[in-house]
Structure 1
């Protein structure tokens, strides 16, 4: 699943081609995504200009003249900028044509993504209004996380993956940040010391920043907007490395299931 670094990498990839460009037409081949693409959206966006491209959590926001296109990549979605609309494949659900000749194509084999529209402020959209702070912003700091963690009995990994607590800390990056901070993923959030929470905040920011610099994590479903993969996967310390030696202490990496997700950790570096 594309996570925050992959979505931000996509935003940066498409921005130079579509910012301040007017939409000449939109072609919708399949409306049945996670939430159906609104009827008549093609007419609504025609001749509108995309002024800015923003990201909030894993949502891409294309701010136009009278509203905002909200795009979510879901589990397998991707956006590419093409020179034309040739070579259309089965899972190419939406094409947005621009005055400069480029086409923004939304592809989603599993159809868990979304292409929506709002004329109101996007901050109040029901998919976005409840979200926590961005992990790389100043709003996500020790004091904030300490207050949110007080009294919480949920495992820390599940806690930091909760989008109402902080957005964009997906499974891969939660595993990596907890390893960096030396915290066992099953520890109750409310039982973690303030010192460890400070280390965790710092680790989350460092892991995400490193992933952004690397262009996102390469997984089977993700490709950058130019068609090339990200390269952070080769730097993973625990994720997907069950049974392999810890790169720090050489103890075999362990794996458990949490909230139907695989969790990886080093029993030596991340004691209970």
Structure 2
């Protein structure tokens, strides 16, 4: 399994696309797991009426349910796909409890695989100048999508919130000083925080300093890759299980601790 993680507008989707293309060209059978696609199954009218969006995005109880579904789906995928050519390539944002369950040690079937050397969590780290360009591109594509999936990208407000959370939580953990909390993007802060988040996983940092202007949309994925998404029954089951475990207020408190591993 290979998961791309990191800030919005850091190059995750582009690298995911390249990984899928390379893997398929080498004869691998690829399944994809992405937060946005996984979450979409939980955003039905009935669920959103009961658990509407909050100030920082999706309701915490829905985020918890999607994370529960995600880990269980990985376990089922592993049990059903034992051929060595099978692989999962995923996009796991982590920040704000967006599949952050994947980096937390939990006593379930999939934990040994997630902690294995055969599973990699890759986080791209753009230079300061490139990050500014990526942010500008994200604002442009979000306002005027050239691909249907670009409308589902993290909006500029979420992109900015993710950086504020990175600084605030890194300071809370003692990884940076309080004076750094309001810093503009810095590689140093980003790297320290994600090294903390991924301490229980086999992580790879990739420095990014180039934009490939003719590469097309990062969402143009290979048609031979199969996307994992929740069925309506799986959605109902995950929501019901979280509801029996937490109240909405308790779920919100749990989600607040997404960065603790």
TM-score range for the pair, normalised by the shorter chain length:
under 0.3
Higher relative contact order (CA 8 A, sep 6+): 2
Q: Which has the higher strand share?
A: 1
The structure number with the bigger radius of gyration is: 1
Q: Which has the higher helix share?
A: 2
